[in-house]
Amino acid sequence: MGLFDFFKRRKKTVQNSDVAIHKEPEVVLRAGNVTATPFDIDSSTIEHLQKRYIAFDIETTGLSPYNDRIIEIGAVKYCDGKACELLSTLVNPHKTISPEATSVNHITNEMLANAPTEEVVYPQLMSYLGDAITGETVLCAHNARFDMDFLRNTLSRLGYDANIVYVDTLKLSRQYIEGLLNYKQGTVANHYGIQIEEAHRAADDARVCGEILLRLLPEINMEIIEQQRRIEKTYPLPQELETCAYIQNTLVQFQEDITHLRFRRNSSNYVEATILYPFLRFKTSSKGKYIIIPKEVANDLPNHSEICTASEGGAMYSRLFYSSITELEPLASFIVTAFQSSKKSFLRYTSNSKRANAEAMQIIQQQKRLSSDEVASILSSAQKNAVVSSDSITQKHDEESTNPTITRESVVINAKNSRVPLSEIHNLDNWHKGFDEGSPYYFKGEEARKAGDLENAIRLFDRARYNGYDAPALYDSYVKTYRQMKDYENEIEICEEGMKRLHPSDAGLLESRRDRAIKLLFAVQEKERIQLEKLQKAAERKAAKPEKKASEKVSPTVQGRGIIQLTDDNCVVCEYESIAAAVRATGINSKSIRDAANGVQRHAGGYCWKYKQKDSLE
């Protein structure tokens, strides 16, 4: 029965009874202000719940908290893990209960006829709930939303004010108990071995609910402890907190709101400064401490810097090295701008809905927060260590600066491949047609690459390229394949082609990969150069020795095996005295030639290779 029906019925009573006239003012009540809020169980609140809570259950005339009424209330207080006080009462709702409701809870109209009314029951209930009315003590119920909606509506209708907090054992059971067919209260009770004496009666249902929570709390506590351990592993290390403190102090000096500023260490050991979204990354490596910033920002600073790897953003970003946080002062305005940009994204996301805001807050709470006192202490300690740190890092950078810089000109590139020139590629001016005709070859090439058929993968990538497919994915796959083949010459060339054809953001990644390939190729060629020098010196020493007399016995000297360069049709291109001689003449990697001759791979530099047959010693 709705509120309008209630007043309508009272008006009819007034016309038939003088007594009812005197009771009418009791019906016209001020609507109370009642809230019911879910209680968040975490490391800071679970102890409060373990000390005290009230298990609560009701039976009703139906499912609508507005049109139906509560006909039975059951509540059990739990103090330090034990049931300590029970409340159980029927409530006369001045409303007929339906046969359907009676079939569920077994409460009849006859049972309710002499039951106490709402005017008697609810003052007693309010007294029993005590500080639960102000949220001091938490209520628990199974499928709590149903019970709380009825309680909130009833108390408000009767003019009471209350701020109730509650936990739902249905939700908690689903979260912490695995493998149940369903999570009805009876099923969960059976899982824990809790005896049910009188199902669907408020007092016993409240007791069972309280026992379920009692058994859930240790499991929840263990999960909270384990989760806290996982979270703490993402906290920055003590030496990394110096940079965190500097970033936070900079934002404070620029009067930015740092309420949601946090720090975390990701799975790759980069420390991220975040406002839900990361806006700055830094790392401590064997080379020293560096912060990742856009390349154009780094170019204006005196600090030592180098191009980032592909995983760090590629050539559009730089690693800016620093020995102490004082060297980051020129970055102050950049830090503030980056923070403001992420803050806009944060505000845009959290304003979408209450759910989005709650999810964001949960993520933020799991990250490291620095108090103002911590920041002051860390910065004070950092100033004392700045001089020593600066000297050691400067010395390291000086040592690094004496090493030669490896550039494109430091290596010899003589890549052998069957790729057509760019001018001969089809569909250069029709991207969509190029995609349609070229992408099928690319996807087949990817399958071949993942299956380890690298030469076939390159052949298919060449077909995709020839038909006009030029997506970043193609160049990424080319690079991965050539890197796996250790064909650094072709890797460098395909990177440089991609750098010309692709968008600057994709080109930046290729530039980083090209620079890495140059260093790898330089190492290979430098090793070969050193080996060749050793051979030449050995030959010079041998030539400098006096000739032996004819009468002296000459031991046969085993020379390096000859090698033959052939086409796929087995036509001889050239013969060489040794692999070293072939490397000098062709520039092809010695390991590639050796692997081709030994059958490990088919080609080296686009040619077949085989060893000469050894002549028998006479």
Q: Please write the tens of the pLDDT for every residue from 226-255.
A: 988 989 899 999 889 999 999 999 999 999
Residue 49 has pLDDT above 90, yes or no: yes
pLDDT at 17 over 50: no
**Active-site residue 200, yes or no?**
yes
| Predicted pLDDT at 617 | 37
Confidence of residue 29 (pLDDT cuts 50, 70, 90): low
Residues 449, 503 within the same domain? yes
Judge if 334 and 369 occupy the same domain. yes
Assess if residue 350 is contained within a domain.
yes
Domain membership of residue 1 (yes or no) is: no
Read off the pTM: 0.54
Average pLDDT in the chain: 86
Residue 569 domain-assigned (yes or no): yes
Please report the pLDDT score of residue 140 as a whole number.
97
pLDDT score of 71: 95
The whole-number average pLDDT for the span 298-306 is 85
Say if residue 394 is in the same domain as residue 250: yes
Residue 385 is predicted with a pLDDT of 66
DSSP 573: E
**Overall average pLDDT of the 534-553 stretch:** 71
Residues 37 and 178 in one domain: yes
Which pairs with CB-CB distance under 8 Å and at least 24 residues apart come from 378-387? 378/241, 378/242, 378/244, 378/245, 379/242, 379/245, 379/246, 379/249, 379/325, 381/242, 382/242, 382/245, 382/246, 382/324, 382/325, 385/324, 386/323, 386/324, 386/325, 386/326
Instruction: Identify the CA nearest to 199 among candidates 138, 144, 277, 142.
Output: 142
Q: What is the mean pLDDT of residues 508-523?
A: 87
The confidence band for 309, taking pLDDT boundaries of 50, 70 and 90, is confident
- Sequence-distant (6+) residues with CB within 8 A of 327 are 303
pLDDT digits (tens, 9 = 90+) for 142-183: 999 999 999 999 999 999 999 999 999 999 999 999 999 999
Cα separation, 419 vs 458, in Å, equals 9
Same domain, 460 and 330: no
Q: What domain range includes position 577?
A: 563-611
Residue 571: name the closest of 613, 608, 611, 612 by CA: 608
Q: Which band of pLDDT confidence, cut at 50, 70 and 90, is reported for residue 303?
A: confident
pLDDT computed for residue 13 by the predictor: 38
Among residues 22, 94, 191, 200, the one annotated as catalytic is 200
| Residue 6 maps to a domain | no
**pLDDT tier, 301 (very low <50, low <70, confident <90, very high otherwise):** confident
Contact 588, 574 (CB under 8 A): no
Judged against a pLDDT cut of 60, whether residue 348 lies above it is answered with: yes
| Averaged pLDDT for residues 387-414 | 64
pLDDT score recorded for residue 11: 37
- Does residue 541 lie in a domain region? no
In a domain, 19, yes or no: no
Whether residue 50 has pLDDT greater than 50: yes
The reported pLDDT for the residue numbered 210 is 97
- Domain contains 13: no
Q: Give pLDDT, residue 398.
A: 52
Whether 512 and 448 map to the same domain: the answer is: yes
